[in-house]
Amino acid sequence: MLELDPVSSLGYGTFWKNEEAAKSSLVALHASLRSWNYTFWEMGEVRSDMWGGKGFESEFNTGMITQDISAEKVPWNGWANLYSFMNRVNDAIKNIPLITFQNEAEKKFLMGQAYGMRAYVYYAMLRTWGGVPIVLEPTEAVDFSNLGRKRSSEQEVMNQIKQDLQASLTAFGDNNGFHKNQRVYWSKAATQILKGDVFIWSGTHMGGGNNDYSQAKSALQEVVNRTDLGLLPDFSNVFAYTNKNNKEIIFAYSYALDQATNNYNNFTARQSDISNLYDSKGNKMGTGLALNGGNRYHASDELLAVLFESPLDQRGEATFIRLFKNPNATDYQGSVIKKFSGVVDAGSRKMVDDVPVYRYADALLLLAEVKNLLGEDPSPEINQIRARAYGSSYNALIHGYVKGSKAVNTEAILKESQKEFAAEGKRWWDLRRAGNSYVLKYNKYLKAGEEYKLLAPISRDMIGRNPLLTQTPGYSN
């Protein structure tokens, strides 16, 4: 009995029969991807200079904030379980082409989504660990003698990401629409922004240079030129619960009452901790916010200094509520998130705002970034962002950006991105994409000689279970 081979199968032999099953599978894939939203946020921001300030209770992920990571202190074990998502998306990519659709264009659209999401996940893995195993087939039956996979090189992973990007764009073709007119589904525009991001990284970190930068610019320019996308006049309205699916959103994770909540409760507080404090305008907090969360991420002094450097810039007050012991805004105690403030339901605040992965502002600032890398003027894109931020107070002679050297332009873009995307899970990636020197400059916990920590280690348990794996360079086994 003990020597019998397992007879169960992990495939969906009876599932992949018709186009309704295929369409259902893509809806399920989006729900599955959403379950990693918090993990992607951690990967993209928690190790940056954004957190580690003053707050009301103990902070989450302090080891990652202070770069206290090693083979014994692994941030995300088991590849963050992302290969379970890969198995689902590989299953779809393998089986959807075998199904007959009444309208073949719908099949192509689904394939465009699937390839785009696979590229997105592999790109997150590449930036987090460097080389990772490439798995492109679903696991349909268990073969214990062939479960182990070695890490592919970073270049091999990048090549696969680029192949998936091209497959996604080819499948989408001329279809620039949004599935069911909802921007919580992957689209051609999402793939194009991802391509811009990927090719900037490839150009900067993997020797692609101007050829990659030119391809990134072309993809991003197509997004920026679309008439159905654009910046909203009011920054705070981008995230409003009552304004989901607005024209600035390109791809977002969907949340709704009685369905799913996001993780921004960790950026609020218990009402009892803040009821006797005052906001920056001298208003006593009381119980009006109806908060019931935790203050588990504390905005750093450096972040607050950048966000609130100008009282005319709307983004500071639209992102955090700073709390003080006195009504004259002295003796700062901490802050709570305002950007994703959710809605009050039955007397309790529910965090059900959609969470953007890509929005039009991403396309603008990535385009500014790649234009700078090509020696072009990034100021038009920077100034679109600034004009929206300052609203009616915007004065181009005072607030407008004028092109400087490449280094000066890079600093301006990084600062603008920090203000624009605070708490959206992007700051670490922005610094990393700009170059290792910028990470070391802005992160006070990383020192020269510790560049190996830019990539995460894997655990000894992972290596023990799969001897084909090797440790991330720089970490001891």
Per-residue pLDDT tens for 423-473?
999 999 999 999 999 999 999 999 999 999 999 999 999 999 999 999 999
In the predicted structure, residue 349 carries a pLDDT above the cut 90: yes
Model pLDDT, residue 4: 42
In the predicted structure, residue 186 carries a pLDDT above the cut 60: yes
In the predicted structure, residue 145 carries a pLDDT above the cut 60: no
Burial (CB < 10 A; 0-12, 13-18, 19+), residue 4, is exposed
Average pLDDT over residues 107-114: 98
Model pLDDT, residue 139: 86
8 Å CB contact between 123 and 198: yes
Where would I find the H helices in 173-300? 188-205, 209-224, 271-274
Task: Kindly report the number of other CB atoms within 10 A of residue 141's CB atom.
Answer: 11
Residue whose pair of structure tokens reads 């692994």 in the numeric block: 74
Give the predicted TM-score (pTM) of the model: 0.95
Model pLDDT, residue 1: 39
SS3 446: coil
Per-residue pLDDT band for 146 (boundaries 50, 70, 90) equals low
Average pLDDT over residues 46-69: 97
Average pLDDT over residues 85-111: 97
Average pLDDT over residues 313-324: 98
What's the token pair of residue 204?
Answer: 């900067």
Mean pLDDT score across all residues of the chain: 95
At 378-391, the pLDDT tens digits run: 999 999 999 999 99
In the predicted structure, residue 7 carries a pLDDT above the cut 50: no
In the predicted structure, residue 128 carries a pLDDT above the cut 90: yes
Average pLDDT over residues 294-315: 97
CA distances from 317 to 139, 246, 261, 459 (A): 48, 21, 23, 41
In the predicted structure, residue 406 carries a pLDDT above the cut 70: yes
Rounded CA gap, 444 and 464, in Å? 34
Average pLDDT over residues 323-335: 97
Rounded CA gap, 20 and 286, in Å? 51
Model pLDDT, residue 9: 41
SS3 356: strand
Average pLDDT over residues 267-275: 95
Model pLDDT, residue 2: 43
At 245-264, the pLDDT tens digits run: 999 999 999 999 999 999 99
At 194-249, the pLDDT tens digits run: 999 999 999 999 999 999 999 999 999 999 999 999 999 999 999 999 999 999 99
Model pLDDT, residue 140: 76
What's the token pair of residue 136?
Answer: 């492109």
Model pLDDT, residue 148: 81
Average pLDDT over residues 175-194: 97
* Nearest alpha carbon to residue 337 among 264, 228, 262: 264
**Which residues on adjacent β-strands are paired with residue 292?**
270
Rounded CA gap, 66 and 297, in Å? 13
Model pLDDT, residue 434: 97
Mean pLDDT lowest for which of 2-11, 103-112, 412-421?
A: 2-11
SS3 53: coil
Percent of the chain with pLDDT over 70: 96
Q: Are strands 343-345 and 332-337 parallel, antiparallel or unpaired?
A: unpaired
Orientation angle between helical segments 406-421 and 427-434, nearest 10 degrees: 170
Model pLDDT, residue 355: 98
The CATH topology of domain 21-231+456-465 is 1.25.40
